[in-house]
Amino acid sequence: MRFLTCGATVAAALMFAVAAPAARADSDRVLCIGARADFDGEIAACTRLIELGQRSDNNLAVAYYDRGNAFQGKGDFDHAIADYTQAIALDPKFAPAYNNRGNGYAATDDYDRAIADFDQAIALEPKDARAYDSRAAAYDAKGDHDHAVADYNQAIALNPKNPDAYVRRGVAYEARGDLNHAVFDFYRALAFDPRNAGAYNNRGNVFRRQGDFDSAIADYTEAIALDPKLVIAYSNRGVVYGDKGEYDAAIADASRAIALDANFAHAYSHRGDAYDAKGEFDQAVADASQALTLDPKLASAFTTRAAAYFGKGDLDNAIADYTEAIALDPKSAAALYGRGVAEIKKGDSSVGESDVSAALTIQANIADAMAKLRVSP
């Protein structure tokens, strides 16, 4: 009897030993797909499934794909790309893996590789609106707004009730100067989703470009009401307050943006513009310098600091910063005009007048805009 009891105990133990890993694998499958939005937990669960090595190639591809999604969610794009690549190697017809690897490449500014992956995703699943939407965003980031609009058109045709696709197409329209189509898209996005803060923010951008500052401020204010942590809306509203000459309000909004995101270089640059317009040149230089520490290729920050140096009478540093801005953005009317005026003040009239002329060709009213920053002959 003892033997039988012992045997039953051993059998039960063996059953438990087999059942426990199986139960763990089932639990890991649930965790790996990202049901709980716990990225570290998902990565650990997917890794255990991968290391079991007992799955078919297709199922193993899914585990790599799911782990790639978790890495992508954490912002670890290199590991995400590696996992998507492994998923594709195991299943070369896995369209979502191409799409998400493309998103990883786009997040690291490798837009050509991103577009190639989106091309492959579309070839495999031509009815998937997400791949067109992703490819459009990559084209937009490259400055190819015509291709971006064409892809957004296709994405919207496949999924006409996605408000974010209208917002993104509106941004592409605005980037290529088609403001009427841009506004129309933002209205359409809001018709589908009246609480879409991004649509209000981007419509505000168009209103600003059209010179309708009050409507722009109203839209930014609505965006902030819907999403009080929308940093870009504070920054944009501050810029428009500056356009209106309300510099204290501009500084307050830029400061709110910085409080929400201390690494947002544009907010420092915009606040520097407002300080410059108030004649607080040292503070303007400090803010522009901080912007350039965060983003050394931010042309507008060089222009901001140059204007402050100009206000301080430091023409050499002003010219140097305007020159840096022009190197980064050769069509910057503000930088060309500012450098031209500084050169004229230094006595180099021929070179200065050439810069001023080039600036006026790009933007006819640039002299009025620069006068607000105290940059004038």
* Per-residue pLDDT tens over the stretch 321-363: 999 999 999 999 999 999 999 999 999 888 899 999 999 999 9
Looking at residue 338, its pLDDT comes to 97
Tens of pLDDT, residue by residue over 255-278, are: 999 999 999 999 999 999 999 999
What's the rounded Cα separation, in Å, for the pair 338 and 314?
13
Residues comprising the chain, all counted:
377
pTM of this prediction? 0.84
**Quick check: 85 pLDDT over 90?**
yes
HEC string for 141-210: HHCCHHHHHHHHHHHHHHCCCCHHHHHHHHHHHHHCCCHHHHHHHHHHHHHHCCCCHHHHHHHHHHHHHC
- Angle in degrees, 0-180, between the axes of helices 333-346 and 315-328, rounded to the nearest 10: 150
Counting Cα atoms < 13 Å in the Cβ hemisphere of 358 gives: 19
What's the rounded Cα separation, in Å, for the pair 368 and 354?
18
Closest CA to 83 of 122, 73, 115: 73
Tens of pLDDT, residue by residue over 133-182, are: 999 999 999 999 999 999 999 999 999 999 999 999 999 999 999 999 99
Counting Cα atoms < 13 Å in the Cβ hemisphere of 8 gives: 5
Note whether 286 and 276 are within 8 A (CB). no
**Max CA distance (Å), the chain:** 112
What's the rounded Cα separation, in Å, for the pair 201 and 171?
11
Looking at residue 54, its pLDDT comes to 61
Note whether 214 and 223 are within 8 A (CB). no
How far is C-alpha 359 from the geometric centre of its chain's CA atoms? 29
Task: Burial-class residue 76 by CB neighbours within 10 Å (0-12, 13-18, 19+).
Answer: middle
> Would you call 127 helix, strand, or coil by DSSP?
coil
Note whether 187 and 170 are within 8 A (CB). no
What is the token pair recorded at 311?
């206000």
* C-alpha Rg value of the chain to the nearest Å: 27
- Sequence-ordered list of residues with C-beta below 8 angstroms from that of 51, at least 6 positions apart, any chain: none
CA angle in degrees (0–180, nearest 5) for 280-285-289: 150
What's the rounded Cα separation, in Å, for the pair 94 and 242?
50
- In the chain, what are the helix, strand and coil shares in percent, each to the nearest 5? 80, 0, 20
What's the rounded Cα separation, in Å, for the pair 218 and 173?
21
Model confidence band, residue 11 (pLDDT cutoffs 50, 70, 90): very low
**Quick check: 35 pLDDT over 70?**
no
What domains are there in the chain, each with its CATH number? 18-92 (1.25.40.10)
> Would you call 193 helix, strand, or coil by DSSP?
coil
